[in-house]
């Protein structure tokens, strides 16, 4: 028995929690199983009658391993037979002492079964200590995929083996922790288990929700995020983050997610050099692989949003994210990308459902006033300004994606320096649209788009996948209008994006034109010739068509012939808003200043 107790003592995990300045002690399920496997004979000898020895051993190994470890650790192994005769095993724990006047009782917190046979143990002064403290060291939760909303006692130890760092935002804190592999009933995939410690324990992110409002408001936030994350789980889409667990402890609400090694997309852009400056050092195959990875991520994010906006199942229930931005796009990868590497192992995943909203009816615009907070200022769409009291459309997300996609292309072509110049040009933390004299896409955004379209890599000898995608952003995503005007006819006609060389027909160039659909409007209506913003279905279809044609060699991913001109085609800061776009092809000396 002494040897068994020593093994249990050595198995205790001690974790320093920086947030609480406490040391948490617990024993993993893996250690309990290993140690109790060797305790069968010892347990059998605890039976007061030989005829009960075998039954006691089976009870201990099949139903009460944690209980056995607890009783041996506290030197009360002789109590085990009481539990055996009353069939009171691990599934009844934790237990709690209840007070009825001067009378004390013991019951299971799970089943509420009263354990009258334990009441005589109150004569032992340390029985209360076992209930209040020691049991929590052995009955540590195991998270599974059953989508249970756990509620834990404040004394419950959680299966974390290391706390690394904590960051805080307006709505939550996120703590980087390592969870014991034996307390996570999930198979490792392209999210869970991408980051492991030396013992094979997964790194996780634990998000604690914050609110400046009432407890009722916080509960609404919790239920909303849980609902959206549940939809993420149900879709099982590779570009939605997977929630590992949800739990409440001490009136605080937590969500557990896999840890993304690559951080978020903003951090990825800052830390991972793009291939742009070293473009001539890479082969056409490398560039094609790079741009194909880029498009795979674009269509992956778009298709994830499409599933939220237009679900196949549960007809009538739709959802929008409401806060799409680089900080809410996580970068999962088994391998850490670095300078000069093509980051094809990185998968972009949509996270942070805090602003998401589930709609019980599938409508583009509901008639009730929205109560959902606006997302980040930079990526918010114009309707937040010109329709402040209207319910927000699912096309809110389309604008946000258009902003994010444009920044992604700038990073691809001009590296983080070019992206920083773009942000400086449109104004730090400023949206992509202006309000005066009318609400429209900012001139600086338009000029950057034009600059990209004229980049030799996008248009040197004809259409490219990159060029087509920029046109999609310009003509279908960053569009102010989100709905047809009343009285307009929803008739659809096929159109195509303009090419850089209009004198070439699809037949002549052998380059199929990218086809999209748009509604035709009553030309007598004011502004009726304006397009409305695309929905997620159209966005996915167009991106997929670009990928299909580029994969089939009928459309180049990028113009290799334009690579030689790249060094003399590099943006500089402080684009002159008074300049004309026709001078965008000036030398590097003039750069964007010459526009």
pLDDT in tens, the chain (595 residues): 788 899 999 999 999 887 667 889 999 999 999 999 988 888 888 888 888 889 999 999 999 999 999 999 999 999 999 999 999 999 999 999 988 877 888 999 999 999 989 888 888 878 889 999 999 999 999 998 776 788 999 999 999 999 998 888 777 899 999 999 999 988 777 788 889 999 999 999 999 988 767 777 777 777 777 776 776 676 678 898 888 888 999 888 898 999 998 899 999 999 887 766 555 466 777 778 888 999 999 999 999 999 888 887 654 577 788 889 999 999 998 876 666 677 888 999 998 755 445 444 333 433 333 444 444 789 999 998 888 777 778 899 999 999 999 999 999 999 889 999 999 999 988 999 999 889 999 999 999 999 999 998 898 678 999 999 999 999 999 999 987 544 444 433 333 333 333 333 333 333 333 333 333 333 233 344 568 999 999 999 999 999 999 999 889 998 877 666 655 556 665 554 333 333 333 333 233 333 2
Three-state DSSP state, 235: helix
Question: How far is 303 from 296, CA to CA, in rounded Å?
Answer: 10
**Are 425 and 514 found together in one domain?**
yes
| Same domain assignment for residues 400 and 490 | yes
| Burial call 349-386: b when 16+ CB within 10 Å, e when fewer | bbbbbbbbbebeeeeeeeeeebebebbbebbbbbbbee
Are 355 and 371 spatial neighbours (Cβ–Cβ below 8 Å)?
A: no
Same domain assignment for residues 296 and 168: no
Q: Which of 226, 258, 290 corresponds to the end of one domain? A: 258
Report if residue 325 sits inside a domain: yes
> Looking at the structure, do residues 303 and 418 belong to the same domain, yes or no?
yes
Alpha-carbon distance of 238 to 258, in angstroms, equals: 13
Determine the Cα–Cα distance for residues 274 and 279; give it in Å rounded to an integer: 9
Task: Tell whether 294 and 393 lie within a shared domain.
Answer: yes
How many alpha carbons lie under 13 Å from residue 549 in its C-beta half-sphere? 22
3-state secondary structure of 101: coil
> Same domain, yes or no, for 124 and 169?
no
Q: What region, left, alpha or beta, does residue 113 occupy, with left being phi > 0 and alpha being psi -120 to 50 degrees?
A: beta
On whether both 459 and 355 belong to a single domain, the answer is yes
Residues 92 and 181 in one domain: no
- What pTM does this model have? 0.79
Between CA 496 and CA 511 the distance in angstroms is 12
- Main-chain phi, psi angles of 320, to 5 degrees: -125, 160
Same domain, 405 and 423: yes
Query: How many CB atoms are located within 10 Å of the residue 297 CB?
Result: 21
Pick the last residue of a domain from 89, 109, 138.
Answer: 138
**CATH code where residue 407 lies:** 1.10.510.10
Range of the domain at 94: 2-138
Residue 144, in any domain of the structure: no
Phi/psi at 492 (nearest 5 deg)?
-110, 145
């Amino acid at each position: 028995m002494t040897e068994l107790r020593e093994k249990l003592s050595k198995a205790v995990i001690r974790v320093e929690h920086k947030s609480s300045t406490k040391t948490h002690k617990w024993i993993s399920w893996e250690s309990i199983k290993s140690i109790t496997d060797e305790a069968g004979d010892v347990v059998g000898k605890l039976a007061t009658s030989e005829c009960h020895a075998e039954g006691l051993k089976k009870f201990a190994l099949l139903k009460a391993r944690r209980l056995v470890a607890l009783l041996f650790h506290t030197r009360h192994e002789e109590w085990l037979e009481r539990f055996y005769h009353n069939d009171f095993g691990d599934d009844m724990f934790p237990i709690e002492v209840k007070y009825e006047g001067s009378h004390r009782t013991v019951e299971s917190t799970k089943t509420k079964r009263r354990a009258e046979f334990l009441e005589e143990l109150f004569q032992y002064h340390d029985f209360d200590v076992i209930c209040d403290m020691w049991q929590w060291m052995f009955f540590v939760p195991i998270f599974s995929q059953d989508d249970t909303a756990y509620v834990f006692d404040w004394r419950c130890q959680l299966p974390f083996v290391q706390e690394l760092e904590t960051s805080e935002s307006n709505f939550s804190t996120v703590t980087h922790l390592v969870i014991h592999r034996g307390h996570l009933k999930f198979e490792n995939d392209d999210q869970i288990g991408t980051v492991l410690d030396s013992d094979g324990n997964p790194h996780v992110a634990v998000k604690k929700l914050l609110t400046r409002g009432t407890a009722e408001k916080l509960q609404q936030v919790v239920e909303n995020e849980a609902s959206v994350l549940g939809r993420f789980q149900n879709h099982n889409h590779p570009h939605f983050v997977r929630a590992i667990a949800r739990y409440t402890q001490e009136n605080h609400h937590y969500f557990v997610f896999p840890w993304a090694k690559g951080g978020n997309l903003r951090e990825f852009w800052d830390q991972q050099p793009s291939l742009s400056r070293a473009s001539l050092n890479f082969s056409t195959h490398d560039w094609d692989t790079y741009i194909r990875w880029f498009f795979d991520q674009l269509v992956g994010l778009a298709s994830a949003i499409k599933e939220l906006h237009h679900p196949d199942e549960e007809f009538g229930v739709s959802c929008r994210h409401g806060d799409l931005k680089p900080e809410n796009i996580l970068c999962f990868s088994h391998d850490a990308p670095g300078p000069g590497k093509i980051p094809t192992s990185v998968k972009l995943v949509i996270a942070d459902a805090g602003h998401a909203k589930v709609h019980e009816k599938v409508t583009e615009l509901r008639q009730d006033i929205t109560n959902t907070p606006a997302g980040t200022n930079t990526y918010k769409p114009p309707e937040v300004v010109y329709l402040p009291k209207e319910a927000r459309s699912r096309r809110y997300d389309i604008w946000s994606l258009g902003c994010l996609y444009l920044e992604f292309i700038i990073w691809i072509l001009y590296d983080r320096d070019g992206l920083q110049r773009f942000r400086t040009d449109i104004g730090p933390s400023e949206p992509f649209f202006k309000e005066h004299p009318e609400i429209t896409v900012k001139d600086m955004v338009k000029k950057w788009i034009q600059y990209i379209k004229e980049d030799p890599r996008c248009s040197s000898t004809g259409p490219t996948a990159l060029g087509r995608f920029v046109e999609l952003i310009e003509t279908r995503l960053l569009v102010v209008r989100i709905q047809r005007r009343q009285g307009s006819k929803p008739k659809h006609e096929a159109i195509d994006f303009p090419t850089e060389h209009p004198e070439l027909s699809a037949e002549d160039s052998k380059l199929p034109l990218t086809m999209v659909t748009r509604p035709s409007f009553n030309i007598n209506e004011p502004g009726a010739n304006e397009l409305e913003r695309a929905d997620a279905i159209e966005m996915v279809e167009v991106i997929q068509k670009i990928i299909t044609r580029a994969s089939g060699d009928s459309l180049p991913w990028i113009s290799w012939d334009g690579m030689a001109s790249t060094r003399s085609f590099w943006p500089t800061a402080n684009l002159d808003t008074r300049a004309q776009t026709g001078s965008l092809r000036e030398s590097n000396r003039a750069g964007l200043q010459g526009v």
